[in-house]
Amino acid sequence: MTPETIGPYVTLRRLVGGGQETELFLVHHRDDPPEAVACLKRVHPNYDDNPLFGQRFEAEMTLAQKLRHRNIVEVSDLGQDDGHYFVMEYLDGPSLEDLLAWGTLSPELVAYIGIELCRALSFLHHSDRDNDRGPVIHRDVTPHNVLLSRNDGGVKLSDFGLAKALGRTGAETITQARGKPIYLSPEQLRDDKISTRTDLFSLGLVLWRALVGSHPYGEGRPRDRHMGEWILEHTLTNDRRLVAAAAPHAPSALCEVIEGLLQPLPTRTPSAEDVFRVLRQIEPLDGHAQLAAWIAQVAAEGA
């Protein structure tokens, strides 16, 4: 049952995509007009049993409120009402995960989405200029957290800080990944120290999925093998097809970019700027329009 209010927010309807840990609502602030809508994400109240969770959540979401970039979903408020919540801008469109349920994207659209995500990651990774915490790392770059606008084909990265606030570890994520792909780097799976290159590995997984339609380390899994364990084993050994073999239709530059992102840490592409420079060579001039048109086509077919 959808609650009538959460804190000072009036709920309009429940949104899909919350998952096991969170729930999503379309809301408006009671002091604002009903058309001024936002998206509210509330964490399951069980997390409040952990005395450290509230502190982590407030610290991460307070930092998220300071992050302002065209490719990052804006966080405007946070609070607590039957669980901690934060409020973010509402994008009228699908997530990349939703869009990929209808099929893979053209190499041009993959390059365009990669460019936009590189803009977001470059901004995050250099945001340490304004804080003393070191580089800001997203930790959870997945198709589910890439939100798309049906109006203008915009691409935005969401849920910054949530994975850290929830205290997720590689082992816990593997246990939960019964039938869905996971997008963690080898260092996350080992619970080792992470860096900005951690986000870049996850970006490589996202771009592979968009281009090929599968998870590079999930291919060939027998039905009797647990998805998370299979991906863990093959990620740690980098056991997968080459990108060029998985996507022979794609430009070599795009294949090389993804290949570089999926390398072990010492030889992995070092920065989002390096990826950006290569993808600019194959990015379509009308990427926004192409993506908006594809979203519209998918919506029409699904109606």
Catalytic residues: 140
Max Cα separation, the chain? 56
Give CA–CA dist 57/76, Å, rounded: 14
Give CA–CA dist 230/240, Å, rounded: 12
For residue 299, count other CB atoms closer than 10 A to its CB: 14
Which two structure tokens, joined as six digits, stand for 26?
A: 């379309």
Q: What is the DSSP letter of 133?
A: S
Three-class secondary structure of residue 11 per DSSP: strand
Amino acid at 182: I
Kindly tell me the burial class for residue 211, based on how many C-beta atoms sit within 10 Å of its own C-beta (0-12, 13-18, 19 or more): buried
For residue 217, count other CB atoms closer than 10 A to its CB: 23
Give CA–CA dist 64/88, Å, rounded: 10
Three-class secondary structure of residue 85 per DSSP: strand
Q: Report CA 55 to chain centroid distance, whole Å.
A: 23
Start-to-end CA span in the chain (Å): 26
With beta carbons less than 8 A apart as the criterion, state whether 87 and 77 touch: yes
Please enumerate, as own/partner, the contacts of 7-13 that have beta carbons within 8 Å and a separation of 24 or more: 7/79, 7/80, 7/81, 7/85, 8/79, 9/38, 9/40, 9/87, 10/34, 11/40, 12/37
